[in-house]
Amino acid sequence: MKIITGSDLRTGDVIWWTGEGWSRHVNDAVEAGEHTEAIIARENAKQIVTDTQVIEATVTDDGVRPAHIKDRIRALGPTVRLDLSLKPADPAAGNWVI
């Protein structure tokens, strides 16, 4: 599947296109469909998101999993500071990246 990601313009937070808006959680990401360029242009114009891009991902038992390790690290947070990641309570969260 193809999903859209970007960074929150104000905070720089990694965000994912949910079909209706943006979420910090990759599991909320949805198939972007055929109109990715139009979505990106429209959302960029709202001054909410920046550095938008379309990436490959798959749906697994654990939820949406970006295909490339870089995007999985973006989705989780730094693997060396899980306390700062989106899963601070899960000591095995780094395994999801690898």
Partner 1 sequence: MYQYDSYDQSMVDARVAEFRGQVERRLAGDLTEDQFKPLRLKNGLYLQLHAYMLRVAVPYGTLNSRQMRMLGDIADKYDRGYGHFTTRQNIQYNWIKLEDAPDILADLASVEMHAIQTSGNCIRNTTSDQFAGAAADELVDPRPYAELLRQWSTFHPEFDYLPRKFKIAIIGSETDRAAMKLHDIGIQLVKNDAGEIGCRFYVGGGMGRTPMIAPVIGDFVSPLQMVSYAEACLRVYNRYGRRDNKYKARIKILVHEIGADEYRRQVEEEFAHILTLGLEPPAAELERIKGFFEQPGFDANASDELDLSDPDFALWVDQNVHAHKQPGYAIVNISLKPVGGIPGDATADQIRLMADLALAHSFDELRVTHAQNIVLPHVKKADLYGLWQKLDEAGLAAANLDLIGDIIACPGLDYCALANARSIPVAQKISNRFADLGRQRELGELKLKISGCINACGHHHAGHIGILGVDRKGVENYQLLLGGCEGADTSLGTITGPGFNEDGIVDAVEKATDVYLAQRAEGERFVDTYRRIGMAPFKEAIYAKEPANG
Binder of partner 1 out of 19, 21, 33, 78 (CB under 8 A): 78
Q: How far is the CB of 17 from partner 1 (least distance, A)?
A: 17
Q: Which residues pair with 63 in a beta bridge?
A: 60
Greatest CA separation for the chain: 39
Contact 96, 62 (CB under 8 A): yes
Nearest to 48 by CA among 84, 2, 8: 8
Binder of partner 1 out of 20, 61, 62, 81 (CB under 8 A): 81
The identity of residue 18, as a single letter, is: T
Q: Does 47 bind partner 1 (CB under 8 A)?
A: yes
Name the site residues for partner 1 (rule: CB under 8 A): 7, 9-14, 44-45, 47, 50-51, 67-70, 73-74, 77-81, 84
